[in-house]
Chain A
């Protein structure tokens, strides 16, 4: 290091300037990158974007240079910095910049000391700069600009939203050669907030209900012009001087064709596509809530509902439609309420995260009640907004105290008391248990499995009642009963079945199982029961049932399977229990279907037959019905198929000649194809190709390429039907016959 203090300060100043310039360059480059990538929103042209980015970078550079005052930086500024940062210089660094002649003796002495101090400090002087931070910022900016460049879609220069709402999959079609200039102005509906824009392409793609205005100027004198739409509707242009104008609103996709008359002939354009971008209904996504929620009275009765709402344009309203169900059976009552989301209070914008808390108590839910709700949302479409809703969500507050049964007047028996878990519920719970196996402790798993086993047992006992089985133990608790008590009980009574329902007598009697008490043989050994004549007891479990024999067999089978299901649940093997449960459910469903009661038909009472005439009629004239019909032929697109074959033939030909016959084939195919193009506007190019070939407009060079394109479109249009049987080919000539005969002979030998 030079010991010349002035020289040292000058070097420090230069170093500082270098640091700052480097820092500013990095920052400016970063800014230029960001601006370059952001300008893609306005324009795709590279040169404009480079210019704008470069200007932004330059502006930033100049601004920061000015900010750091680098142009006017002098040594005194640095001296001031040294005095502030290094106290050991004793605020005398400015002496270094003054010639000795101008200093007093004392100042000279001080200067000497300062020089000595400065020389010691010089290697360690740290000048302020943000080089590291600037480098990181540059890296971030470059990364961001890459992201922007990749994902940004240009928007309208006028500040509107996307002009190209959907990229055209096909290249831009050239306008008819007779069109001198044209402008197509598209005005989307106001609610879309998309400003009017103009299209440079006759192929149009715009939002639903947009207004389209064609303004066309033709070459030469044109008398009149019109547009023919795919629905065979046509609209005439208004003529203003030599300019033709037509306006129309569209809500359906299709295609159109220009038609104009000059003084001599009528001209037709190609077909152009009209693609409508439908305004979709809002999308609703409810998070963190299962469709079925079951609460017990000790649970917190507040349910948080959060919904992600989104729409392609804007949302205007959303809410929760909640229905509270109270009571059961015929006493059930419903109350419907519309609840608003609490956050945000007002629904607007394209995407909203709405949420609210459903206070079940405030909604009046009590144990045993249920709440059904769904979320609905509306968008800003006018005049009729789009509405969408979610699936219905269920919240049930369980009533653990209720255990009474409700008689079903239809069946006369209570098949499914609601405090029992049904077989289906047990299956669902078993599957849930198996699903949660990895998450819960073994102890909990076993306990739940055991509980399910208990439920299975309860169900079995209940169904056992219908078979005449008596409960061997209580449903709720298993209480040990003393043998003394058992002795006192009538064993037959225990396993028998008492008529305890009055409604049983309303059932249709089963001939097979109908009891004829009068015909019962009298057992002399049997102790005379004085009450026997007055009671109607069914003591035999085999016959003491409400059901027919076949149903009884099924019910017995179901109970047996339930035993197995319970066994495995008790053994903490719910996976082995599940197949038995499914079998039980299947059997129960069959029983349910079989046990329907039908009322005997009444009415026709046939006259008595003469026995001697039975089976003696002459049936020779009685003939069975004969049906003769032809299956409906589906639209097999015969003209399109003919055009496809012709296209293939032309492609293979060394020279492609479009003769009048060929033209007619393509013309007929075009008529058939137009209905397809109407349903699928993306295929309108096929219609254009058919028209060009039918009119023999394509140049010799283009023909092959157009035929290849047409072949592909026509092929794709043909339906892909499933395989059907077909006669296979075989040759049954004399040689083969002889061969087969020889084989047969050799087989017999």
Chain B
């Protein structure tokens, strides 16, 4: 339905003035004896109309619908047809990365900013977080297409060389899927998954070198096989500063000492040879004073191996210093040989006598290893590292920032002497790593799930007590402090070219990998589906009817005036 109207830019009397002027001109032209009378009269009328048009700006009104059915990659055409049938007033539009569809208009660059609110239904994998953010309101309905392939991937916080690394994820698909993790030297691990939604997988690998590597994840579904890049940033082993304090050396300690020193850990050992005389051994570390035990001397170490007899012989002051050192992050591993009673000042563990003096441990094979003949009453505070059935063989408790660990195992050195070095290493490495003082990692975190594509934004967070400068590949990035949480900074970064990149502050750094645009499509789709689902606030899907004013262009009036005036000038000469 069309309605005309005027939007005058001149006072009403000008209308009368122009009308008079036209009538006068008409009369004047009629009196003339020239040819083309009708033409001249018409020209005068047109001049009058054009003048009125300039001054009174005529317009017409149309009723339109602004509801948009937005198609994103992966949409189903059958859904489009049925939706259009139900909502014929909806306008069909598609995103730039979406396949072409008949009657679907490509969205403009500023679509989300200007007309984002008009989107009523989204089909397909949805929109990126940046696009969603630009939309003024999110009152749309989202009908997602569940992506097939790897839809979730979890990278370990830290992959260390010569430690088994894990790559976990989730696969969705309508066919059986075979995953193969390919490292620099070939296949590292593979897994066959049955068809179905959200099937978890775990692939392991063993990095031999620290550095930034790109592994490949080969995904075979039916006859289709493709590879996706898996960025693995392998960290170097971080040697520990370990202190042994014992009444006397044992074969167990000696083997442990040899094992740790061979792997470049720094060791300090103190054995008591008489009441006040000690023997010291410093391996891979300079000589330092550790007698008496104090918070200061313990601050140099990450882990303390101590036997029960030594614990009993500590002075009251030393006990307090040790407890404080643990609260500040020191790890303590108590070598249980004697009766561990009267240690309540150190830990709340309860020991009960046991008839068992061995434990069956399954490592690469089953071992029967001697243990001390008492058990630890299980509590919620104990984090088990090694267990034999219901029996806690080794574990630890938390004390402030530090941890206090125990192991019931005795004579584990036999594993080493029998040639089972790997199992010996496994027995101790996990316990020591978990108990030892932690190293402070980067306070930078990327909050957006992998993958981050070139020229696409991702969110980063920095924890810092004071204003800090964050650099993304040598370009400084502005940080915004959180309104609620202190020392918590946010930023948005646009990913650069495909490859490894780095976020860096004065004290910390974090590497991230930007894959090429054509990789990890299923993962990107899954992320978008999730983000769009989170953003949606469906209220109404019916389109609003709006009346649109459309002005008649001034150019028309100008041209009309020009031609009419020209004709009047030319007519006497014809």
Contact = CB atoms under 8 A, between A and B. Distances in A.
Contacts of B485: 735
B463 A720 contact: no
Contacts, number: 165
B5 interface: no
Interface in B146-184: 157-158, 160, 162-164, 183-184
A53 to B, nearest CB: 40
A607 interface: no
Interface stretch (A462-470, A513-521, A547-555, A626-634): A626-634
Interface stretch (B80-88, B100-108, B208-216, B524-532): B208-216
A624 B485 CA distance: 54
B483 to A, nearest CB: 15
B237 A726 contact: yes
Nearest to A744: B400
Given A729-B439, A735-B487, A627 B500 contact: no
B537 interface: no
B78 interface: no
Interface string A624-645: 1111111101100000010011
Contacts of B500: 652
Nearest to A720: B208
Contacts of B430: 723
Contacts of B487: 733-735
A60 B261 CA distance: 79
Interface string A717-732: 0111111111111111
B301 to A, nearest CB: 12
A740 B276 contact: no
Given A631-B262, A735-B487, A744-B400, A726 B282 contact: no
B209 A727 contact: no
A726 B463 contact: no
A726 B158 CA distance: 11
Contact of A731 (B238, B274, B463): B463
B368 interface: no
B441 interface: yes
Interface stretch (A227-235, A279-287, A708-716): A708-716
Contacts of A711: 184-185
A724 B422 CA distance: 9
A727 B401 contact: no
Nearest to B465: A734
A723 B426 contact: yes
B238 A726 contact: yes
Given A726-B238, A740-B401, A744-B400, A720 B206 contact: yes
Contact of B158 (A622, A728, A735): A728
Nearest to B164: A723
A748 interface: no
Contacts of B185: 711-712, 715-716
B329 interface: yes
Contact of B279 (A624, A633, A719, A730): A624
Contacts of B277: 619, 622-624
A728 B264 contact: no
Contacts of A645: 209, 211
A399 interface: no
Given A631-B284, A652-B500, A733-B463, A728 B439 contact: yes
Contacts of A626: 279-282, 287
A644 B212 CA distance: 11
A425 to B, nearest CB: 27
Nearest to B401: A732
Interface in B277-326: 277-284, 286-287, 302
Contacts of B464: 733
Interface in A625-670: 625-631, 633-634, 641, 644-645, 648-649, 651-654
Given A727-B437, A734-B486, 5 more contacts: A628-B281, A723-B425, A727-B302, A729-B439, A732-B440
28 contacts: A619-B277, A624-B277, A626-B280, A627-B281, A627-B282, A628-B281, A631-B264, A631-B284, A648-B213, A654-B498, A715-B185, A715-B208, A718-B209, A720-B206, A720-B208, A723-B422, A723-B430, A724-B260, A724-B425, A724-B429, A725-B436, A730-B441, A732-B329, A732-B401, A733-B464, A734-B463, A735-B488, A740-B401
Which 10 A-B residue pairings sit nearest by Cβ, starting from the closest? A730-B438, A725-B432, A724-B263, A722-B425, A729-B441, A624-B279, A727-B238, A715-B185, A631-B261, A718-B208
